[in-house]
Structure 1
Protein backbone atom coordinates (compact mmCIF):
# COMPACT_ATOMS: atom_id res chain seq x y z
CA UNK A 1 0.00 0.00 0.00
CA UNK A 2 1.49 3.31 -1.06
CA UNK A 3 1.32 6.46 1.00
CA UNK A 4 -2.07 8.18 1.00
CA UNK A 5 -2.61 11.87 0.26
CA UNK A 6 -4.70 13.40 3.05
CA UNK A 7 -6.44 16.79 3.00
CA UNK A 8 -7.77 19.02 5.76
CA UNK A 9 -11.20 17.54 5.00
CA UNK A 10 -10.10 13.90 5.28
CA UNK A 11 -7.53 14.32 8.11
CA UNK A 12 -9.78 13.20 10.97
CA UNK A 13 -11.16 10.20 9.07
CA UNK A 14 -7.79 9.00 7.72
CA UNK A 15 -5.61 9.83 10.73
CA UNK A 16 -7.48 10.32 13.99
CA UNK A 17 -10.06 7.60 13.33
CA UNK A 18 -7.66 5.02 11.87
CA UNK A 19 -7.51 1.53 13.36
CA UNK A 20 -3.77 1.40 12.58
CA UNK A 21 -1.11 3.77 13.86
CA UNK A 22 -0.60 6.54 11.29
CA UNK A 23 2.58 8.36 10.27
CA UNK A 24 1.72 11.82 8.95
CA UNK A 25 4.27 13.50 6.68
CA UNK A 26 3.68 17.25 6.38
CA UNK A 27 5.46 18.28 3.17
CA UNK A 28 5.42 20.64 0.17
CA UNK A 29 6.35 20.36 -3.50
CA UNK A 30 9.10 23.01 -3.17
CA UNK A 31 10.74 21.38 -0.12
CA UNK A 32 14.01 19.60 -1.03
CA UNK A 33 14.36 17.58 2.20
CA UNK A 34 10.69 16.51 1.85
CA UNK A 35 11.45 15.06 -1.57
CA UNK A 36 14.53 13.29 -0.14
CA UNK A 37 12.49 11.29 2.38
CA UNK A 38 9.53 10.65 0.05
CA UNK A 39 10.95 7.44 -1.50
CA UNK A 40 11.94 6.08 1.94
CA UNK A 41 8.41 6.66 3.22
CA UNK A 42 6.95 4.95 0.15
CA UNK A 43 9.18 1.90 0.77
CA UNK A 44 8.33 1.82 4.48
CA UNK A 45 4.64 2.05 3.61
CA UNK A 46 5.02 -1.15 1.56
CA UNK A 47 7.29 -2.94 4.04
CA UNK A 48 5.20 -2.10 7.12
CA UNK A 49 1.80 -2.65 5.51
CA UNK A 50 -0.74 -3.89 8.05
CA UNK A 51 1.29 -2.42 10.95
CA UNK A 52 1.17 1.27 10.14
CA UNK A 53 -0.40 3.63 7.61
CA UNK A 54 1.72 6.43 6.12
CA UNK A 55 -0.04 9.53 4.83
CA UNK A 56 1.16 12.79 3.31
CA UNK A 57 -0.33 16.26 3.81
CA UNK A 58 0.66 19.00 1.34
CA UNK A 59 0.93 22.06 3.62
CA UNK A 60 0.39 24.52 0.77
CA UNK A 61 -2.96 23.02 -0.23
CA UNK A 62 -4.04 22.07 3.31
CA UNK A 63 -2.98 24.77 5.78
CA UNK A 64 -5.39 23.89 8.61
CA UNK A 65 -4.02 20.47 9.63
CA UNK A 66 -0.38 21.59 10.02
CA UNK A 67 -1.50 24.79 11.77
CA UNK A 68 -3.54 22.77 14.28
CA UNK A 69 -0.47 20.57 14.93
CA UNK A 70 1.85 23.55 15.44
CA UNK A 71 4.00 22.65 12.43
CA UNK A 72 6.61 25.38 11.89
CA UNK A 73 8.99 23.69 9.47
CA UNK A 74 8.84 20.79 7.04
CA UNK A 75 9.29 17.94 6.66
CA UNK A 76 7.50 17.33 9.93
CA UNK A 77 6.49 13.79 10.81
CA UNK A 78 3.94 12.81 13.44
CA UNK A 79 2.80 9.39 14.62
CA UNK A 80 -0.81 9.06 15.72
CA UNK A 81 -2.02 6.09 17.71
CA UNK A 82 -5.67 5.83 18.74
CA UNK A 83 -6.19 9.39 17.50
CA UNK A 84 -3.43 10.90 19.64
CA UNK A 85 0.08 12.08 18.76
CA UNK A 86 2.59 9.70 20.32
CA UNK A 87 5.76 11.02 18.68
CA UNK A 88 7.04 13.58 16.21
CA UNK A 89 10.29 14.47 14.46
CA UNK A 90 11.33 17.25 12.10
CA UNK A 91 13.74 17.27 9.19
CA UNK A 92 14.94 14.67 6.73
CA UNK A 93 16.24 11.40 8.18
CA UNK A 94 17.67 8.30 6.49
CA UNK A 95 15.28 5.42 5.90
CA UNK A 96 16.80 3.29 8.69
CA UNK A 97 16.33 6.11 11.19
CA UNK A 98 12.73 6.64 10.07
CA UNK A 99 12.02 2.92 10.37
CA UNK A 100 13.51 2.74 13.89
CA UNK A 101 11.53 5.78 14.97
CA UNK A 102 8.28 4.30 13.64
CA UNK A 103 8.90 0.85 15.19
CA UNK A 104 9.76 2.35 18.59
CA UNK A 105 6.64 4.56 18.51
CA UNK A 106 4.04 2.00 17.50
Structure 2
Protein backbone atom coordinates (compact mmCIF):
# COMPACT_ATOMS: atom_id res chain seq x y z
CA UNK A 1 0.00 0.00 0.00
CA UNK A 2 2.77 2.42 0.91
CA UNK A 3 4.61 1.62 -2.31
CA UNK A 4 1.49 2.36 -4.40
CA UNK A 5 1.05 5.70 -2.65
CA UNK A 6 4.70 6.54 -3.24
CA UNK A 7 4.46 5.48 -6.89
CA UNK A 8 1.41 7.73 -7.39
CA UNK A 9 3.17 10.70 -5.84
CA UNK A 10 6.32 10.13 -7.87
CA UNK A 11 4.35 9.79 -11.10
CA UNK A 12 2.74 13.20 -10.50
CA UNK A 13 6.03 15.07 -10.12
CA UNK A 14 7.35 16.86 -13.19
CA UNK A 15 11.02 16.87 -14.14
CA UNK A 16 11.27 20.56 -13.26
CA UNK A 17 10.15 19.85 -9.70
CA UNK A 18 12.78 17.20 -9.07
CA UNK A 19 16.15 18.54 -8.00
CA UNK A 20 17.84 15.46 -6.55
CA UNK A 21 16.59 11.92 -6.46
CA UNK A 22 17.94 10.02 -3.47
CA UNK A 23 17.55 6.27 -3.55
CA UNK A 24 17.36 4.32 -0.29
CA UNK A 25 20.46 2.37 0.70
CA UNK A 26 20.46 -1.14 -0.64
CA UNK A 27 20.26 -3.20 2.51
CA UNK A 28 18.74 -6.63 2.50
CA UNK A 29 15.43 -5.38 3.89
CA UNK A 30 15.18 -2.60 1.35
CA UNK A 31 16.56 -4.32 -1.72
CA UNK A 32 13.13 -5.12 -3.18
CA UNK A 33 11.97 -1.57 -2.52
CA UNK A 34 15.14 -0.14 -4.03
CA UNK A 35 14.86 -2.25 -7.18
CA UNK A 36 11.21 -1.25 -7.63
CA UNK A 37 11.99 2.40 -6.98
CA UNK A 38 14.54 2.48 -9.78
CA UNK A 39 11.67 2.14 -12.24
CA UNK A 40 10.30 5.52 -11.13
CA UNK A 41 12.64 7.88 -13.07
CA UNK A 42 11.06 7.13 -16.50
CA UNK A 43 7.77 8.28 -15.01
CA UNK A 44 9.42 11.54 -14.05
CA UNK A 45 10.20 12.35 -17.66
CA UNK A 46 6.59 12.97 -18.58
CA UNK A 47 5.36 16.49 -18.16
CA UNK A 48 2.26 17.49 -16.27
CA UNK A 49 -0.10 19.67 -18.29
CA UNK A 50 -1.08 22.93 -16.65
CA UNK A 51 -4.82 23.39 -16.42
CA UNK A 52 -6.12 26.67 -17.85
CA UNK A 53 -8.28 27.53 -14.83
CA UNK A 54 -5.36 27.39 -12.40
CA UNK A 55 -3.65 30.74 -12.13
CA UNK A 56 -0.94 32.07 -9.93
CA UNK A 57 -3.38 34.59 -8.48
CA UNK A 58 -6.28 33.07 -6.62
CA UNK A 59 -9.75 34.62 -6.69
CA UNK A 60 -10.26 33.94 -2.98
CA UNK A 61 -7.94 34.18 -0.02
CA UNK A 62 -7.96 33.91 3.76
CA UNK A 63 -7.27 37.14 5.61
CA UNK A 64 -4.19 36.75 7.83
CA UNK A 65 -4.36 39.90 9.97
CA UNK A 66 -5.60 43.50 9.98
CA UNK A 67 -2.70 44.72 7.81
CA UNK A 68 -3.37 41.97 5.27
CA UNK A 69 -7.04 43.00 5.22
CA UNK A 70 -6.10 46.63 4.60
CA UNK A 71 -3.68 45.75 1.84
CA UNK A 72 -5.70 43.11 -0.01
CA UNK A 73 -9.28 44.31 0.59
CA UNK A 74 -9.47 48.02 1.31
CA UNK A 75 -6.65 48.97 -1.10
CA UNK A 76 -7.71 46.45 -3.77
CA UNK A 77 -8.18 47.69 -7.32
CA UNK A 78 -10.78 44.98 -7.88
CA UNK A 79 -14.14 44.78 -6.11
CA UNK A 80 -14.01 42.40 -3.13
CA UNK A 81 -16.60 40.18 -1.47
CA UNK A 82 -15.83 39.65 2.21
CA UNK A 83 -17.14 36.40 3.64
CA UNK A 84 -17.33 36.60 7.44
CA UNK A 85 -17.67 33.00 8.60
CA UNK A 86 -16.84 30.58 11.43
CA UNK A 87 -15.63 26.98 11.43
CA UNK A 88 -18.53 25.88 13.63
CA UNK A 89 -21.21 27.52 11.43
CA UNK A 90 -23.23 25.08 9.31
CA UNK A 91 -24.76 27.70 6.99
CA UNK A 92 -21.25 29.13 6.41
CA UNK A 93 -20.12 25.76 5.10
CA UNK A 94 -22.99 25.78 2.62
CA UNK A 95 -22.58 29.40 1.52
CA UNK A 96 -18.77 29.31 1.07
CA UNK A 97 -18.68 27.03 -2.01
CA UNK A 98 -21.63 28.89 -3.55
CA UNK A 99 -19.78 32.18 -3.18
CA UNK A 100 -16.62 30.74 -4.71
CA UNK A 101 -18.64 29.46 -7.66
CA UNK A 102 -20.26 32.88 -8.19
CA UNK A 103 -16.84 34.56 -7.99
CA UNK A 104 -15.29 32.06 -10.43
CA UNK A 105 -17.97 32.91 -13.02
CA UNK A 106 -16.67 36.49 -13.10
CA UNK A 107 -13.25 35.34 -14.38
CA UNK A 108 -11.00 37.58 -12.30
CA UNK A 109 -13.15 40.73 -12.19
CA UNK A 110 -13.81 40.30 -8.46
CA UNK A 111 -12.03 38.63 -5.53
CA UNK A 112 -13.23 37.14 -2.26
CA UNK A 113 -11.70 37.60 1.18
CA UNK A 114 -12.54 34.99 3.82
CA UNK A 115 -12.53 36.26 7.40
CA UNK A 116 -12.88 33.78 10.26
CA UNK A 117 -14.66 35.76 12.99
CA UNK A 118 -13.13 33.66 15.76
CA UNK A 119 -9.61 34.54 14.62
CA UNK A 120 -10.34 38.14 13.57
CA UNK A 121 -12.89 39.40 16.05
CA UNK A 122 -11.62 42.97 15.62
CA UNK A 123 -12.58 42.99 11.92
CA UNK A 124 -16.00 41.49 12.67
CA UNK A 125 -16.68 44.20 15.26
CA UNK A 126 -15.36 46.94 12.96
CA UNK A 127 -17.79 45.92 10.19
CA UNK A 128 -20.76 45.30 12.51
CA UNK A 129 -20.95 41.55 12.00
CA UNK A 130 -23.37 40.17 14.58
CA UNK A 131 -24.31 36.91 12.84
CA UNK A 132 -22.64 34.54 10.42
CA UNK A 133 -22.52 34.09 7.54
CA UNK A 134 -22.31 37.77 6.69
CA UNK A 135 -21.14 38.84 3.24
CA UNK A 136 -20.05 42.41 2.56
CA UNK A 137 -19.42 43.79 -0.94
CA UNK A 138 -16.67 46.40 -1.06
CA UNK A 139 -15.36 48.49 -3.95
CA UNK A 140 -12.59 51.07 -3.59
CA UNK A 141 -12.61 50.72 0.20
CA UNK A 142 -16.33 51.54 0.44
CA UNK A 143 -19.08 49.13 1.48
CA UNK A 144 -21.51 48.78 -1.43
CA UNK A 145 -23.93 46.17 -0.09
CA UNK A 146 -24.20 43.29 2.38
CA UNK A 147 -26.39 40.39 3.44
CA UNK A 148 -26.68 37.93 6.30
CA UNK A 149 -27.58 34.25 5.85
CA UNK A 150 -27.74 31.88 2.93
CA UNK A 151 -28.66 32.87 -0.62
CA UNK A 152 -29.27 30.63 -3.62
CA UNK A 153 -26.97 30.71 -6.64
CA UNK A 154 -29.13 33.11 -8.68
CA UNK A 155 -29.29 35.61 -5.83
CA UNK A 156 -25.52 35.37 -5.36
CA UNK A 157 -24.91 35.96 -9.08
CA UNK A 158 -27.12 39.06 -8.92
CA UNK A 159 -25.30 40.27 -5.80
CA UNK A 160 -21.88 39.84 -7.45
CA UNK A 161 -23.01 41.52 -10.68
CA UNK A 162 -24.29 44.47 -8.66
CA UNK A 163 -20.84 44.73 -7.05
CA UNK A 164 -19.09 44.74 -10.41
CA UNK A 165 -21.53 47.29 -11.76
CA UNK A 166 -23.05 45.43 -14.68
TM-score class normalised by the smaller sequence: over 0.9
Q: Given that residues 81 and 113 in structure 2 are in contact (C-alpha distance below 8 angstroms), is that contact kept between their aligned partners in structure 1?
A: yes
Q: TM-score, normalised by structure 1?
A: 0.93
Unaligned runs of 5+ in 1: none
Aligned to 1:39: 97
| Length, aligned pairs only | 106
Which protein has the bigger strand share? Answer: 1
Alignment of 1:1-106 (within 5 A): 1-9=58-66, 10-106=68-164
| 4+ aligned runs moved over 6 Å, structure 1 | none
**Could you say which structure has the greater relative contact order, defined with CA pairs below 8 angstroms and 6 or more residues apart?**
1
Whole-Å separation in 2 of the counterparts to 1:46 and 1:89:
20
Unaligned runs of 5+ in 2: 1-57
Secondary structure of the structure 2 residue equivalent to 1:18: coil
Distance 1:104 1:25, change over 3 A: same
Whole-Å separation in 1 of the counterparts to 2:145 and 2:63:
19
Q: TM-score, normalised by structure 2?
A: 0.61
Q: Given that residues 25 and 77 in structure 1 are in contact (C-alpha distance below 8 angstroms), is that contact kept between their aligned partners in structure 2?
A: yes
Moved more, 31-40 or 3-12: 3-12
Aligned Cα root-mean-square deviation (Å): 1.2
